Amino acid sequence: MPLAARAKPMPAKPKPQRDAKSVSAFLEQLRAEQPAHKAAWDETALARGVALTLVRMRRAAGLAQGEVAARAGWNKSHVSRLESATNGVPDLATIVRYATACRMTVSLLAARPGERGVEIESALPLNEPAPSRAEPEAVFVDDDRPVAAATYEP
């Protein structure tokens, strides 16, 4: 009998499970033990927050990175870089262009802490999102339940 036929397959080693809590705990420990890492992490907080917001915007629109890129006139790698925060905080014109491609409005908000959370003093929409056919223009929400949606054909 050939050697290969007699050999039993080796059992696969279980991969260590990494959940969000263990990763978060590791990062917290790293930041506590290494002040330089904490400083670098703190410096990138805004860029990471903007990148996460862009990803959420795209996902809410149900779009892939390539679709956002095509709508904005960019290539997919540019959208990927925007969403990864590797190049810092994008300029306002780029954020507005990205939002428009996702059929979202970006606004400049002036707010302050209040008794029941944040109180918005004023909001200035920075773009008019390009509507798409047969999709809701707006969904009005009451207690996290959709109440009404407006649709139209451009």
pLDDT computed for residue 77 by the predictor? 96
What was the pLDDT predicted at 154?
A: 34
What are the residue ranges spanned by the domains of the chain?
30-127
Q: What is the pTM of this model?
A: 0.62
Q: What pLDDT is stored for residue 128 in this prediction? A: 86
| pLDDT score of 76 | 97
Query: Cβ-count burial of 142 within 10 angstroms (0-12 exposed, 13-18 middle, 19+ buried)?
Result: exposed
| Rounded distance between C-alpha atoms, residue 68 and residue 94, angstroms | 12
Task: List CB contacts of 150: < 8 A, sequence separation 6 or more.
Answer: 136, 137, 138
Record the tokens describing residue 106, joined without a space: 């970006």
Q: Are 41 and 31 in contact (CB under 8 A)?
A: yes
Q: Is the CATH number 1.10.260.40 carried by domain 30-127? A: yes
pLDDT tens-digit profile, the chain (154 residues) = 555 556 666 666 665 555 667 877 887 887 788 888 788 878 889 999 999 999 999 999 999 999 999 999 999 999 999 999 989 999 999 999 999 999 999 999 898 988 888 888 998 999 987 665 444 444 444 454 444 444 333 3
